[in-house]
Amino acid sequence: MKKKLIYLALVIVVLALAIFRIVDHAPSADLPLDERVEVVFEKGGCLMCHSAEPELPAYFALPVVGDVMKKDVDEGYRAFDMEPLWNTLQTGKGSFNPVDVAKIEKVALDKRMPMAKFYLVHWGSRMTNAKRDIILEWATAYRTALYNDGLVGERAGEPIRPIDLSLPYDEAKAALGFKLYHDPRLSVDNTVSCASCHGLNTAGVDNKQYSEGVEGKLGGVNAPTVFNAVYNFVQFWDGRAATLAEQAAGPPVNPVEMASPNFDAIVAKLNKDRKFVREFKAVYPEGINQATITDAIEHFERTLITPNSRFDKYLRGDDTAITAEELQGYELFKKYNCATCHVGKNLGGESYELMGLRKHYFADRGLALTEEDNGRFKQTGVERDRHRFKVPGLRNVALTWPYYHDGTRTSLKEAVCAMGTYQSGVELTDEEEDLIVAFLNTLTGEYKGQLLTNDNSAQ
């Protein structure tokens, strides 16, 4: 009798494993790629943990099991809202966010999702090699179409892309924008210009924790670089400006920065300069106003890109452009999920992310919370947006210290160490930190054909 029970148990296990493998099959190759990906996501139950109002199974109401699942759902949604991507897949309207694609690609590569405790209950949801390959094919096809930058071979699928050699802009408007960018008359007392905090000779920053406005007033966040800002999906840490022109309209009337009472006062001041008015009307017949001032500055800022970094040369096929150690640093950068948020041409600027995803950054910081620490929440009032910030781009990062929105990390190694702890949930070794820093040093590009430098003293 005992042998029969053992035999029966073995049969049941074998049958269960067989059924498990059958239901885990990948979608048919006859389906279009987007549809295959949609099937993988649907079978994987991705939206159960990565959406605001998921459809949850009946056992969610059970004690203990439900508590465990609620924790997983909360953590999943906190890290990644998949609904925008899912809606694009289903409707065919809009475009995917490159950060969303990178996050999905990375968990597929690592086979971290769905978790075992999920797929052992939800048969058919497990990430198999065949499903993983579908996602990797989809991610590469997406990037090839989005960037059209000519990367080939294995590098065609890289989450980081080379910067354009140039962008379209109006030369006459950009020339006016250059003058306005450096004109202190935009400030109430004629002492502060855009370049005061974003100097072109200091890598587009001022290397101060907080910038000084009129009368020495200090701002509440660290000034991000103006170089490559054109690639950001929004401007400012909290995303309150959708375009470069909208961003340019902010500081002149900010009471802490340039403190002009309004743009009418700025226009009146500039209109007293007859030579400048003639020059301005030759480009903008409608004359000087807020819209034309900020449009000119936007055209100028479109010229502030820094292509031809050593890493860009590597991406374009030059294997000698970076060292073996720097390449190791890049592999670690990807291994520890840095390249899921720091993606694209600017290595960032494509999404809002939570500061302290894996560990509470603000509790450990030892400083009182400020209004600026609320990040995107300042603009939306949505609780999920509290402490979320636009991800900073990492181009020329070796020149743009101090780091983070609060400017609390003065060296690149300090910043990398803390990112490992608070964003990736790993304690990097000293060697790993050095290797990642070595990679980040390859991201310094060229401006006007010369390697970008910073006139401020080196760290």
List, by residue number, the catalytic residues: 257
Containing 280, the helix (H) or strand (E) segment is helix 274-283
Contact assessment for residue 358 and residue 176, using Cβ atoms and an 8 Å cutoff? no
Strands 446-447 and 388-390: unpaired
> How many CB atoms are closer than 10 A to CB 240?
15
The backbone torsions φ and ψ at residue 237, rounded to the nearest 5 degrees and listed phi first, read -60, -35
The backbone torsions φ and ψ at residue 451, rounded to the nearest 5 degrees and listed phi first, read -60, 130
Structure token pair of residue 326: 């720097």
The backbone torsions φ and ψ at residue 390, rounded to the nearest 5 degrees and listed phi first, read -60, 130
Containing 451, the helix (H) or strand (E) segment is strand 450-451
Q: What is the DSSP annotation of 310-351?
A: HHHHHHTT-TTSS-HHHHHHHHHHHHTTGGGTS-BTTTS-S-
How far apart are the two ends of the chain, measured CA to CA in Å?
Answer: 78
Contact assessment for residue 441 and residue 322, using Cβ atoms and an 8 Å cutoff? no
Structure token pair of residue 288: 């000087």
Residue 61: CB partners within 8 Å, gap ≥ 6? none
Contact assessment for residue 149 and residue 162, using Cβ atoms and an 8 Å cutoff? yes
Amino acid at 369: L
